[in-house]
Chain A
Amino acid sequence: MVSDYRYDDRTVLGFILSAIAWGVVGLLVGMLLATQMFLPAANFAPYFTFGRLRPVHTNGLAFGMGVGAIFGLSYFIVMRLCKRPLLFPRLARVQLWLFNVGIAAAAVTLAMGYTQSLEYAELEWPLDIAIVVLWVMFAVNVFGTILKRREEQMYVSLWFIVATVLAVAVLYLVNNLSIPAGPLKSYHLFAGANSANVEWWYGHNAVGFVFTTPILAMFYYFLPKSTGLPIYSHRLSIVAFWSLVFGYLWTGSHHLIYTPLPTWLQTLGIVFTIFLIAPSWGSVVNGYYTVGQDWERMRTNYLTKFFVLGITFYGLQTVQGPTQALRAVSQLIHYTDWVPGHVHMGTMGWVTMTVAASVYYVVPKIYGTSIFSEKVANVHFWLVLVGQLIFSVTMWITGIQQGAMWKAMEGGKLKYSFVEGLARNYPYYHLRALGGLIFIAGMLLFVYNVMKTIEKGRALQAEGSSAKPLAAVQA
C-alpha cells in the first residue's frame, strides 16, 4: 500500500520541456512556410520546400508540442486526482525517450518526403507502429493509475483524459491501415471516397481528441487550481462531456462538402456539426461562470486571463467551425486561406493559451517556487494575442476575397483567372507573416520565463540540500 509518496514530476517536466523544444522547431518551420507563401525563392529543394515542410510544421506542433504537453500535463493531473504516483514510473520514463526519438524521426522522414499524404496522419507505417506503442504506454499508465487511485470519485478532467486515450486509439488504428510497399512507403487500405471519409473522420477527431478533450481536461483542472474558484456547475460539465464525445465522431464529412462523397453523408456531418455548438459552449459557459464568481481575478491573478481568453477562442472557434460547415458558407470559403485562419485561432488562441497557462502553473509548483516574472508572462500574453489576431483576421479577409473571385461570373464566363486571385493574397500573406513573427516573439518570452523559473527552482533545491544543520549554523 502506498502511504508516503512522491509524484513523478521529473517525467512531467521532461515532457513539458520536450514539448517546448518541439514547439519552437514547429513555430520556426511555420515562419518559413509563411514566408514561402509570398517568396517562392525561400523554398530550398528538395528538403525544404513548402510541400515537404507543411507536414513537419503540423506534426511538430500537433504531436511534438501538443501531444508532448498532453502526456506531461495529463500525468500531472492524473497523479493529483488519484492521489498517488504513476503506477509505472519507469515505463513513463521510457515513454518520454521514445516520444522524443519518434518526433525527431518524424521530422526527418517528412522532410525526406516519406509521407502517407493523409492530413495529420502523414507518418509512414514504421513510425505509425512506434506511435501505437507510445500510446499503449500512455494508456497503461493512465488506466493503471486510475484503477489504483486513492480518491473514490473521478473528477471531470479524468473523464476527458480517458476519452482522449480511447478515441485517439480507435482513430489512429483505423486511419493508418495501409498496404506496405517498401520500408517507408505504403498505400491506403481504402480507396477514393472511402479513403477521404476515413481520413476526415480521423482528421476532424484529431482536432476533437488532441486539440479539444485533453485541453479541456487541463482547463477544468488548472482553472480552479490557479484561481482558487470552484467549477461553476458539475451538472453542466457532465452534460457537456457526454454530448461532446458523442457528437464529435459524426462530423468528419463536413470537410468533404461538395466532393463526390454521397450527399446524405455530407448532410449528416453538417447536422452534427451544428449540434456540437451546444456541448462546446457548455464548457465555455462553465468557464465564464467559474471566473464570474470573481472577475477581479482577471486583474489580480496573471493566469486567469490566459484561461479566459483561451476559452473565449474555443467558444469562437466552435461557432465559426459549424458556420463553415453550412453549404452556403462552405462554397465560398472552402479551399481558401480562410481555413488556415480558422485553424490558427484554435491552435494559437485556445490550445497554446491554455497549455502555456497550465505550464506556468505546473513548473513553479514542481519546484515549490513562484514564476520567474509575471511581467514577462503579461508581455507574452499580449504578444501571442495580437499575433494570433493579425494572423486569423488577415486570412479571413483574403479568404473571402479569394472565394468571391473564384466564384465571380459574368454572362456565363469567369471574371478572374486563378492567378489574378492568388496575386491579391500577397499583401495579406505579408501581414500574416508579421502576425506569426509577433506570436513567436511572445512564445520565446514564454520559453525564457519557464527556463528562468526552472533555474530559480534548481538554485532553491541546491540551497536546500546543501544547508548546514541548525547546530552548525548556531555554533
Chain B
Amino acid sequence: MAGEIYKKPVMFSVVALLVILAGTVATMFYPMLRQDMSGPKLEALRAYTPLELAGRDIYQREGCMGCHTQTVRPLASEVARYGEFSKVGEFAYDRPHLWGSKRTGPDLAREGGVRPDDWHQRHFANPQALVPKSNMPSYAFLEHARLDPGTAKAHYRALASVYRPGEFAAKEEDFAALQDKTEMDALVAYMQWLGHAIPRECAVGDLLATNPLAGKKQAILRGVTVYRNNCAQCHGDEGEGLPGAVPSLLDDEFLGEKGDVTDGTYFGLITCGSAAKKQLGRKGDPEGGMTAFGGQLPDDDIWSVISFIRAQQKHEVIEHP
C-alpha cells in the first residue's frame, strides 16, 4: 500500500530526499561535468593583479551587485548599449560570479576601457556631480581608505590556490606596492579590468560625411541638452576642456594638430571614442580618454552635438577675436 509511507517516517524521508536529489543532480551536479559551463576560456582573459582583486573585494563588500549586473544579454538593444554579449569563457576567475539580478544602474560587464580613470574617481566620489539624476550613493570614503597589503596578499593567495601555478603571477613587490594605493584606486582598477577579454570593435564610418543637421536651430538646441548630459562632465560646460587632461573643443587644435577637421571625423570620434584615435591616425591614448557613445546615442543626437559644437566655436571666435 502506497499509503503506508505516511506511517513510516524513515522511509518517507529517504524517498523525499531522492525526489529532491533528482533535479539537483540533473541541473546542478551534471552541468559541472560539462564543457559548455566553462569553456573554452577566452585567450585574452587574464587573472587579476593584486590591485584589481582588491578592487573586486571592495565591489563585493559594498554590495555593488545589488544594483549592477555583469552580464550582457544577446539582445540587439543590449549589444548596442553595452557592447558584445557575455561569453561563458569570460568568467574563469569569477568566484563567485557577480552577474547580479537587478539593474538599478547600468550593466558593468563591458565597463573596462570605456571611461578614463579620472571619470570613475570623480563619479565614485560624487555620482550626482556627473550624472545629476543618478540615485547612486557617494563612495568618497574610499579615497581616504588605504589598502592593507597583508590582507590583499592573503586574499590573492587564497584565490590563486585553486588555479594552476603561474596563472596568478604577482610577486612580493607587487603586494608591497599596494601600500601607497587607496581603495578608490583598487575599485577603479577593477572597473577597467571588466570585459578586457573581448576586444572592443568600432567602425568610425565615412570621415568625409557632412552634418545633415548643420546650422539647424532645432538641432543646436537638442545638441545643448545632449552635450550637457554626456559631454560637459569632462569637456566643461562651454566646451573649454580641462588644461592638460581634456582637450578644448573651442580652440583651433584637434588632437594635437592644428586646423579644423570634417564633420565625419567628429562623428567617428564621438561614436568610437578613444579607439577612433588610432584609426584616424591621431595622437592620444587609445586605452583611456574619450568614451565611445556610438551605442548610447542615436545618430541624430551625435549630429546635433556636432552642430552645437560648431556653433560654440563660431561664438568663441566672435567673442575673443
Tell me the complex Cα distance, A422–B105, Å: 8
Contacts of B141 in A (CB 8 A): 45-46
Give, as a whole number of angstroms, the nearest-CB distance from B213 to chain A.
15
Tell me the complex Cα distance, A146–B98, Å: 42
Give, as a whole number of angstroms, the nearest-CB distance from A334 to chain B.
8
Is the beta-carbon distance between B77 and A191 smaller than 8 angstroms?
A: no
Quick one: given A179-B95, A340-B102, are A192 and B64 in contact (CB under 8 Å)? no
B245 sits at the interface (CB 8 A): no
Tell me the complex Cα distance, A260–B87, Å: 5
A189 sits at the interface (CB 8 A): yes
Residue of B nearest to A188 (CB): B96
Contacts of B80 in A (CB 8 A): 409, 412-414
Is the beta-carbon distance between B95 and A191 smaller than 8 angstroms?
A: yes
Contacts of B99 in A (CB 8 A): 196, 256, 259
B229 sits at the interface (CB 8 A): yes
Tell me the complex Cα distance, A269–B191, Å: 32
Is the beta-carbon distance between B95 and A406 smaller than 8 angstroms?
A: no
B104 sits at the interface (CB 8 A): yes
Tell me the complex Cα distance, A114–B91, Å: 23
Is the beta-carbon distance between B92 and A182 smaller than 8 angstroms?
A: no
When the two chains form the complex, which single residue of B74, B158, B161 contacts A258, counting CB atoms closer than 8 Å? B74
B67 sits at the interface (CB 8 A): yes
B133 sits at the interface (CB 8 A): yes
A466 sits at the interface (CB 8 A): no
Is the beta-carbon distance between A245 and B19 smaller than 8 angstroms?
A: yes
Quick one: given A162-B9, A181-B155, are A40 and B138 in contact (CB under 8 Å)? yes
A104 sits at the interface (CB 8 A): no
Give, as a whole number of angstroms, the nearest-CB distance from A106 to chain B.
14
Tell me the complex Cα distance, A401–B150, Å: 47
Is the beta-carbon distance between B95 and A188 smaller than 8 angstroms?
A: yes
Contacts of B140 in A (CB 8 A): 45
A190 sits at the interface (CB 8 A): yes
**Bitwise interface map of B from 72 to 112 toward A, beta carbon under 8 Å scored 1, else 0:** 01111110110000111011111111111111111000000
Is the beta-carbon distance between A194 and B7 smaller than 8 angstroms?
A: no
Quick one: given A339-B101, A422-B135, are A182 and B95 in contact (CB under 8 Å)? no
Is the beta-carbon distance between B92 and A191 smaller than 8 angstroms?
A: yes
Chain B: residues with Cβ within 8 Å of the partner, total of: 89
B317 sits at the interface (CB 8 A): no
Chain B positions 282-321 with a Cβ under 8 Å from a chain A Cβ: 295-299
When the two chains form the complex, which single residue of B16, B26, B28 contacts A166, counting CB atoms closer than 8 Å? B16
Contacts of B161 in A (CB 8 A): 179
Most chain-A Cβ atoms within 10 A of its Cβ — which of B75, B86, B103, B297?
A: B103
B44 sits at the interface (CB 8 A): no
Among the listed stretches A13-21, A48-56, A354-362, which one makes contact with chain B, having 4 or more residues with CB under 8 Å of it?
A: A48-56
Is the beta-carbon distance between A411 and B77 smaller than 8 angstroms?
A: no
Contacts of A199 in B (CB 8 A): 96-97
Is the beta-carbon distance between B57 and A52 smaller than 8 angstroms?
A: no
When the two chains form the complex, which single residue of B61, B91, B105, B136 contacts A192, counting CB atoms closer than 8 Å? B91
A463 sits at the interface (CB 8 A): no
Give, as a whole number of angstroms, the nearest-CB distance from B87 to chain A.
6
A252 sits at the interface (CB 8 A): yes
Is the beta-carbon distance between B77 and A406 smaller than 8 angstroms?
A: yes
Quick one: given A50-B67, A181-B158, A249-B23, are A159 and B12 in contact (CB under 8 Å)? yes
Tell me the complex Cα distance, A411–B302, Å: 14
A430 sits at the interface (CB 8 A): no
Is the beta-carbon distance between B66 and A260 smaller than 8 angstroms?
A: no
B137 sits at the interface (CB 8 A): yes
B31 sits at the interface (CB 8 A): yes
Most chain-A Cβ atoms within 10 A of its Cβ — which of B17, B23, B80, B86?
A: B23
Is the beta-carbon distance between B36 and A262 smaller than 8 angstroms?
A: yes
Contacts of A294 in B (CB 8 A): none
**Bitwise interface map of A from 33 to 60 toward B, beta carbon under 8 Å scored 1, else 0:** 0001111100101100111101100000
Is the beta-carbon distance between A51 and B62 smaller than 8 angstroms?
A: yes
Most chain-A Cβ atoms within 10 A of its Cβ — which of B7, B63, B78?
A: B63
Contacts of A180 in B (CB 8 A): 158
Tell me the complex Cα distance, A427–B141, Å: 30
Is the beta-carbon distance between B298 and A154 smaller than 8 angstroms?
A: no
Is the beta-carbon distance between B299 and A411 smaller than 8 angstroms?
A: yes
Quick one: given A197-B31, A331-B75, are A51 and B96 in contact (CB under 8 Å)? no
Tell me the complex Cα distance, A410–B299, Å: 10
Contacts of A418 in B (CB 8 A): 81, 105-106, 296
Chain A positions 321-357 with a Cβ under 8 Å from a chain B Cβ: 331, 335-336, 339-340
Is the beta-carbon distance between B20 and A167 smaller than 8 angstroms?
A: yes
Tell me the complex Cα distance, A46–B142, Å: 9
Chain A positions 190-237 with a Cβ under 8 Å from a chain B Cβ: 190-199, 201
Quick one: given A36-B137, A115-B63, A181-B155, are A415 and B298 in contact (CB under 8 Å)? yes
Give, as a whole number of angstroms, the nearest-CB distance from B12 to chain A.
7
Give, as a whole number of angstroms, the nearest-CB distance from A436 to chain B.
16
A407 sits at the interface (CB 8 A): yes
Tell me the complex Cα distance, A198–B69, Å: 17
Is the beta-carbon distance between B26 and A250 smaller than 8 angstroms?
A: yes
Residue of A nearest to B230 (CB): A417
When the two chains form the complex, which single residue of B63, B67, B297 contacts A417, counting CB atoms closer than 8 Å? B297
Is the beta-carbon distance between A162 and B19 smaller than 8 angstroms?
A: no
Contacts of A38 in B (CB 8 A): 135
Most chain-B Cβ atoms within 10 A of its Cβ — which of A117, A147, A197, A245?
A: A117
Quick one: given A152-B7, A250-B27, are A423 and B20 in contact (CB under 8 Å)? no
Give, as a whole number of angstroms, the nearest-CB distance from B231 to chain A.
13
A272 sits at the interface (CB 8 A): yes
Contacts of A147 in B (CB 8 A): 9-10
Contacts of B60 in A (CB 8 A): 115, 117
Is the beta-carbon distance between B103 and A336 smaller than 8 angstroms?
A: yes
Is the beta-carbon distance between A51 and B137 smaller than 8 angstroms?
A: yes
Is the beta-carbon distance between A115 and B9 smaller than 8 angstroms?
A: no
Is the beta-carbon distance between B13 and A166 smaller than 8 angstroms?
A: yes
B131 sits at the interface (CB 8 A): yes
B34 sits at the interface (CB 8 A): yes
Contacts of A191 in B (CB 8 A): 38, 91-95, 97
A25 sits at the interface (CB 8 A): no
Give, as a whole number of angstroms, the nearest-CB distance from B152 to chain A.
10
Contacts of B98 in A (CB 8 A): 117
Residue of A nearest to B131 (CB): A419
Tell me the complex Cα distance, A143–B230, Å: 62
A247 sits at the interface (CB 8 A): yes
Contacts A162-B9, A259-B71 supplied; 18 other A-B pairs, CB < 8 Å:
A40-B138, A51-B62, A113-B61, A116-B96, A159-B16, A166-B13, A185-B57, A190-B32, A193-B91, A193-B97, A245-B19, A262-B31, A406-B77, A406-B78, A413-B297, A413-B298, A419-B229, A423-B133
Show 23 A/B contacts (Cβ-Cβ < 8 Å), sorted by A: A50-B63, A179-B159, A191-B92, A192-B37, A192-B38, A192-B94, A193-B88, A193-B91, A201-B24, A246-B20, A252-B28, A260-B86, A260-B87, A269-B27, A406-B81, A411-B299, A413-B298, A413-B299, A414-B77, A414-B295, A414-B298, A422-B105, A422-B134
